[in-house]
Amino acid sequence: MTSDLEELLGVLELRRVDDDTFLGSHPSKNPMRTFGGQMMAQAFVAASRTLRHELPPSTLSVHFIAGGDPRQDLEFRVVRLRDERRFANRRVDVMQGDVLLASALVAHMAGGRGLEHGVPAPRVADPSTVPSIEDLLVGYEETVPLFVAALKPIEWRYTNDPAWVMRDKGDRLAHNRVWLTTKGAMPDDPVIHAAALVYASDTTVLDSIITTHGLSWGHDRIFAASMNHTVWFHRPVRFDEWVLYSTSSPVAAESRGLGTGHFFDRDGQILATVVQEGVVKYFPGSSG
């Protein structure tokens, strides 16, 4: 029986059609539309597999245009914009047939040593002392059924109550902090570790938009859809080791909200920064 992590690693192993075209599959457990984190991670892998030189990633920026059908493969068309010894730029168009689902810009850069600083990591409980996502979903199977049924290749360990538990308690919180790691060993390939971070970066990042207002998925009638998503990679990551994903929402207006976040390693160093904009609509007086 294939584990959820093996399924994730399988979808990140793209099939190469030609030098600049790849096909990507879906896992066995899917939402109604292709999970944005999956699409971004596969686009990142496609761009990385076309590099002439071995360069670390610096930025991934994706604009979502249409929803993907999980019953069909995704096609990743790579455009080589720049290739130098220390710099590379790619555009990746994600297609299903003639429909453009998303367009990603991916930059790689070998910058070398330079000035270093970073905001301190928040003080949170150790991942070994906080419950797993499976524990936190017990009793909420009918409230958030999509979360219960979702593919779970990543171990989530909230250091605060997740939205659905917070809502039950009548609490609200302007941030969310979650320990993450893969549920098993990863291949010794920095591209796959960075891709796993990209995949996970699409989880919890919009949560603070609703928890700031004391709302929750499942309990309240909320519609959310990602519009664009950017990841800045600051340091190499091992995603089969614990990393902390600390997110908050600086603004929500005109039915759009911004989620921002940092990934930290166990030593408190910032590994990556994330910003996502999403359409978030709340329909008061209705419940899910």
pLDDT of residue 1: 59
Q: Which CATH number is 4-110+130-282 given?
A: 2.40.160.210
How does pLDDT run across 208-220, given as a tens digit for each residue? Answer: 999 999 999 999 9
Q: Are 88 and 82 in contact (CB under 8 A)?
A: yes
Check pLDDT > 80 for residue 287.
no
Check pLDDT > 60 for residue 154.
yes
Q: How far is CA 58 from CA 44, 55, 77, 162, 261, in A?
A: 11, 9, 20, 30, 16
Provide the residue ranges of all domains of the chain, joining segments of one domain with +: 4-110+130-282
Q: Please name the helix (run of DSSP H) or strand (run of DSSP E) that holds residue 16, with its range, or none.
A: strand 15-18
pLDDT of residue 167: 95
Distance CA 103, CA 61 (A): 8
Q: Nearest to residue 264, comparing CAs of 110, 56, 122, 108?
A: 122
Report residue 286's pLDDT band, with 50, 70 and 90 as the boundaries: low
Q: Are 33 and 67 in contact (CB under 8 A)?
A: yes
Instruction: For the chain, give the mean pLDDT.
Output: 96
Q: Nearest to residue 268, comparing CAs of 88, 126, 166?
A: 126
As a whole number, mean pLDDT of residues 44-52 equals 97
Q: Is the dihedral of CA 160, 269, 192, 181 positive or negative?
A: negative
As a whole number, mean pLDDT of residues 263-278 equals 98
How does pLDDT run across 86-128, given as a tens digit for each residue? Answer: 999 999 999 999 999 999 999 999 988 899 999 999 999 999 9
pTM of structure? 0.96
Q: Is the dihedral of CA 267, 273, 276, 282 positive or negative?
A: positive
- Please provide the DSSP assignment of 136-151 as one string: HHTT-TTTSHHHHHS-
Check pLDDT > 50 for residue 288.
no
pLDDT of residue 71: 96
Least confident segment among 28-32, 89-93, 126-130, 265-269 = 28-32
Cα 241 to the center of its chain, rounded Å = 16
Q: Which two tokens stand for residue 21?
A: 């075209």
As a whole number, mean pLDDT of residues 49-72 equals 97
As a whole number, mean pLDDT of residues 192-199 equals 98
